[in-house]
A and B are shown apart, each in its own frame.
Chain A
Amino acid sequence: MDEEPERAKRWEGGYERTWEVLKEDESGSLKATVEEILFQSKRKRVIESHEQVRLGMMRHLYLVIDCSRSMEDQDLKPNRLTSSLKLMEAFVDEYFDQNPISQVGIITTKNKRAEKLTDLTGNPKKHTAALKKAVDTVCAGEPSLYNSLSLAIQSLKHMPGHTSREILIVLSSLTTCDPGNIYELIKTLKSLKVRVSVIGLSAEVRVCTVLTRETGGFYHVILDESHFKELLMMHVKPPPASSSSECSLIRMGFPQHVLAALTDQDAKPSFSMSHLEGGSGGPGLSLGGYFCPQCHAKYTELPVECKVCGLTLVSAPHLARSFHHLFPLQAFVESPMQELQGDRFCQACEGELKDKRIFTCPSCHGVFCTECDLFIHDSLHCCPCCIHSHIGP
């Protein structure tokens, strides 16, 4: 009865009326529909991302964390600041896992000023240590978008053209106190090809919408803590390169790991250059390690930038990890569960298939549940059944 006039309207109008999808359940809550909408957008991202596009994989990302008075609000437990910092630590670890040749720096803003917490470096330990210490900061005043963006630009503008320059802002306040015209700064950002994304903790703010739209970033506002985590993890994947970024040859060193024993004739104990400062933490004199091919300085961990000659030192597996993004796993075919014949078991987790949807790998036709499909596409980057079938005789 209702369907005929609706169909006619849709044909005439040609647009989706998303409000019709919202349905209340018995208690009047919209939670189920909201979750459904979120899930659909996640699936859309997976499907969209498997064309081959050029990505900016050497990334220089600045995280800007709002430390203003509104971060003391307790709607995220125990308060917004602690919760955000915890999620940031997880983000930093995941980021360096998926982008081993990139760098991160952290800026905080409060009292109408911005200050750098850590500089741009590729060492995740420094960032996690600084984030842990920052839990004790007093939240006061208003944040300043202008000052934090200009502070980030100071370093980003010196980065070479083939890298991707990004800023991710976590903004909980609804105001910003700026000493100048932020629209001018947005134009500067555009000219420097810096991509700014914002995650809002309170509500949508017009300035952030304009900022992200003009620079090509994303703007989202969180619903709750798990949504916050998802939005953060969305930024771990390298973004598509803009058409104007140059490509150039990058010089990198691939040092071999040298193991030596004390009984070898020419065993030379040496210090690693990265352990000279700091003092505590890490072994002192050691025999083996990675020696820079250009200047012969020693390091115990890779990837690192040689302090003596400035060469980027990586190992081949680090680069290979970035290939997951260039050759992404194909999206699995979604189908309703009723069509499945045979045993209703997910082939990855061996659990019973409870959802209404199942996903099938196009090459090996293995069947997976929703959770496993998300895990395979986000973290594993390869279908477990396809790998198994290659190994056997």
Chain B
Amino acid sequence: MASPKVIVLRTCDGETFEVDESVVYVSETIKNMIEDGCGDGVIPLPNVSSKIFPKVIEYCKKHVSDFESLKKTSNGDEKEKDKDDDSSKKGKEAVPDVEEDAEEKARVEELKEWETTYMDIDQQVLFDLLQAANYLNIKGLLLMAAEKAASMIRGKTPEQIRETFNIKNDFTPEEYEEVRRENAWAFE
């Protein structure tokens, strides 16, 4: 096999990063840029900072092998986000052979552990990650980050949510009461 091609990318604050082509291919945005012929020069990423980029690359490196096997079977990451599936279970859609079942389970377990450690980040980093994943079009990372943000909301009262995300309550007491009452009794 020929040595892997290295892509040079420049973040919005001028720093450059050199990353293997297979790793950056996890980002649909970068993949499209390379396929459009920009792969030989420096690829500019005006919406991504040098602070968050390494974190994104860490994700991409971990998910390269997933992506490689997907590339072989279909054209790219076609998995539709299922609204009813409230976790980003990536590998579980395909039905595995029984012999590989145990291996698959171990792999999924390990990935879950890695994800828990990876997502142990503060709010600022989480938001940067959300924006970067959105701009770079990395579906799995976007879902994971959105899920983490959602987990910071679940089970909290409105006041606690405001506290967490530093949001001002702009309801008047009457407006608040109206919405609260409607929420409580009128619908589901």
A binds B: no
- B contact residues vs A (CB 8 Å cutoff): none
